[in-house]
Amino acid sequence: MNKDWLDILNRYFEAQTSEEEERLLKRFLASEEAQGEAFDEARAVMGLFAVAKKDYQAEQREKTTKRHIPLKWLSAAAAVLLLVAFWWNWKEKPNYYACINGVETTNRQEVVEAMHRSMESVQLDASAEDIVSKQLGEMFDVLNDEN
């Protein structure tokens, strides 16, 4: 009987056994019949494969689990970020804003006074308006003469 098991064991190391033969071989190697020196190496290799397979499966489960946790945190962070963005956009903003001499202000009175000062400094007198009108008229007259 050991000769049959040795034959199956040799075919196992040559990757020529079926899944059923491998299952029977594993069961045999765990039994008391396989406690001889002839099967020590096979038990060690199959035990190593079993441990490596368990480690690999545990590692794969861990990777899969870790992938879901960051997605939950990422979606929660995105929701919080959206709420903050909406709040920031809808919060009450000042109606008046100006930068006067490099200083920002939202005081309505200061902004209006700065606007009036600026408008007064660029107001044109009536003669300046006449000069502009006259120059524009001359331009259009030249264009009309060419046609």
pLDDT digits (tens, 9 = 90+) for 76-111: 888 888 888 877 777 666 666 778 888 888 888 888
Check whether residue 21 and residue 79 sit in a common domain.
yes
pTM of structure:
0.37
Check whether residue 81 and residue 122 sit in a common domain.
no
The range of the structural domain enclosing residue 135 comes to 98-146
Check whether residue 102 and residue 51 sit in a common domain.
no
Burial 7-45 (b: 16+ CB within 10 A, else e): ebbeebeeeebeeeeeeebbebbeeeebeeeebeebeee
Check whether residue 16 and residue 84 sit in a common domain.
yes
Check whether residue 10 and residue 71 sit in a common domain.
yes
Model confidence over 31-78: pLDDT tens digits?
A: 888 777 777 888 788 788 778 888 888 888 777 665 555 677 778 888
Query: Would you say residue 147 has pLDDT above 60?
Result: no
**Is there a contact between 12 and 22 (Cβ–Cβ < 8 Å)?**
yes
Q: Structurally, how many domains does the chain consist of?
A: 2
